[in-house]
């Protein structure tokens, strides 16, 4: 496990374009994924995430041609998610050039997929994405699937422990409540999950300032931080963020 904190821009894709929304809706076009990926590579991103956000909802597969184009252009590890529902899908995405896959809805519907995939492809390339929203009635968080549209009623902490036991290498944890709001990451959620598992947790949803990243790393115990619109619209540059974190004593790769 790396000791340095990874900075990961996320490219949410719809119809082959990078888009950005708020709380999983109100989608705006933000450009060509291959060009954006190249820029992030030059800016010092540690990894990239490509999420085909409408694939599962529309019941189709991830855009493999986009994956292979990005793979040809970038030299950093990249993660692909959205519409990945079987061993064959995982094979196809890795074969197209991705380094890791992120599975969400399919893992909830068939948890043994995690076990089978981590055996077949090695656990460090299998990431389970968890979309979480607070449930005030029981003072916890529920797991959502289908692009954040369906509440499974599963408890996030229980599910995080289960995916680790099944062989997931990392958890990509998105706060549905904070997604796109720029009000800061959900520190309480991130910390609760990070303390319940020993695999890395990637924090996602809500970054709005340099301090937000620092807080979710130090207080939330995230081992990687993910953001989308902040980086896309140049509100914060990756180099600037790494410099800030380093000055605050966080280990980052410059």
What DSSP element (H or E) covers 112? helix 112-121
99 vs 249: CA distance, rounded Å: 29
pTM summary value = 0.91
Please say if 155 is a catalytic residue: no
242 vs 95: CA distance, rounded Å: 31
145 backbone φψ class: left, alpha, beta (φ>0; ψ -120 to 50):
beta
Helix (H, G, I), strand (E, B) or coil at 3: coil
CB count in 10 Å sphere of residue 237: 13
Query: Please, which residues have CB within 8 angstroms of residue 203's CB and are 6 or more apart in sequence?
Result: 173, 185, 190, 216, 217, 220, 222, 224, 225, 226
Residue tagged active-site, from 12, 89, 123, 186? 12
Under a CB-based contact definition with an 8 Å cutoff, are residues 94 and 122 in contact?
no
3-state secondary structure 224-243: EEEECHHHHCCCCCHHHHHH
**What pLDDT is attached to residue 8?**
97
**What pLDDT is attached to residue 1?**
43
45 vs 242: CA distance, rounded Å: 9
97 vs 60: CA distance, rounded Å: 19
Please say if 131 is a catalytic residue: yes
What domains, with CATH codes, occur in the chain?
6-247 (3.20.20.70)
Q: What is the pLDDT along the chain (254 residues), one digit of tens a residue?
A: 458 999 999 988 877 777 754 443 444 445 678 888 888 999 999 999 998 866 556 665 657 888 999 999 899 999 999 889 999 999 999 999 999 999 999 999 999 999 999 999 987 999 999 999 999 999 999 999 988 889 999 999 999 999 999 999 999 999 999 988 899 999 999 999 999 999 999 999 999 999 999 999 999 999 999 998 888 888 999 999 999 999 999 999 98
**What pLDDT is attached to residue 125?**
95
Backbone angles phi, psi at 71, to 5 degrees: -60, -35
DSSP annotation string for 55-71: HHHHT----HHHHHHHH
Residue tagged active-site, from 46, 89, 123, 131? 131
């Amino acid at each position: 496990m790396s000791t340095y904190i990874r900075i990961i821009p996320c490219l949410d894709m719809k119809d082959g374009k990078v888009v950005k929304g708020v709380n999983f809706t109100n989608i705006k076009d933000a450009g060509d994924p291959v060009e954006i990926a190249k820029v992030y590579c030059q800016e010092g991103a540690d990894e990239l995430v490509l999420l085909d956000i409408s694939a599962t909802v529309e019941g189709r597969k991830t855009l493999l041609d986009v994956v292979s184009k990005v793979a040809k252009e970038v030299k950093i590890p990249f993660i692909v998610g959205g519409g990945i529902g079987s061993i064959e899908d995982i094979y196809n995405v890795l074969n197209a050039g991705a380094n890791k896959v992120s599975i969400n809805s399919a893992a909830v519907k068939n948890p043994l997929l995690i076990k089978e995939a981590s055996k077949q492809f090695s656990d460090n390339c299998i990431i389970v994405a968890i979309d979480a929203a607070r449930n005030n009635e029981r003072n916890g968080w529920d797991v959502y699937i289908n692009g954040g549209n369906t509440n499974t009623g599963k408890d996030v902490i229980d599910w995080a422990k289960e995916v680790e036991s099944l062989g997931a290498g990392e958890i990509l944890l998105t706060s549905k409540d904070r997604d796109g709001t720029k009000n800061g990451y959900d520190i309480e959620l991130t910390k609760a999950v990070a303390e319940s598992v020993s695999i890395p947790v990637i924090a996602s949803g809500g970054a709005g300032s340099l301090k937000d990243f620092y807080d979710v790393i130090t207080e939330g115990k995230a081992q990687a931080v993910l953001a989308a619109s902040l980086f896309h619209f140049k509100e914060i540059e990756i180099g600037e963020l790494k410099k800030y974190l380093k000055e605050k004593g966080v280990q980052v790769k410059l």
